[in-house]
Amino acid sequence: MSAHDGMNSIQEQIARWVHDHYWVEDHNCTTAVISCLAKLFGTEIDDQVYAASLGMHGAGGYRAQCGLVEGGLLFIGIHGSAKQLGRERIVQLCYDYAKAFEANYSSISCRDLRPEGFRENDPPHPCEQITVEAVWFTYQWLLNL
């Protein structure tokens, strides 16, 4: 059974994008999430956003708020602004998203969500599968607004 069995075509595309972000581009999870969501929603992302996301994977590896959540939150701000939702609505959406993410994944902390935690000799990109799941979760969450 392959990793793509049971996935629909959008999920398969997300899996390809995430794989390329990690293994070809060597991006972090925040950058991967923002980029995938931008492609799914046809949203332009300024290069400054990608520059700002460089250290947002658990606060630069500090193991704090997970970059999967950070990417979703950043995208909600960008997407919400493009849709002219207003500041208060965007802030409320970010709150609601973080709450929904935590309910679904039991945490928004990198130290809790990272598969097998952190070890000195971690393999590269251990969060690939959960990134695919988080992009799909966020995409579905945004579609249901």
- Helix, strand, or coil (residue 85): coil
pLDDT tens digits, 39-68: 999 999 999 999 988 877 666 666 778 889
Token code pair at residue 138:
């966020």
For the purposes of burial, counting CB atoms within 10 Å of the CB of 25, is it exposed (0-12), middle (13-18) or buried (19 or more)? exposed
pLDDT tens digits, 63-85: 778 889 999 999 999 999 999 99
Token code pair at residue 66:
């997970």
Round to whole Å and give the CA distance between 43 and 49.
13
Round to whole Å and give the CA distance between 1 and 9.
17
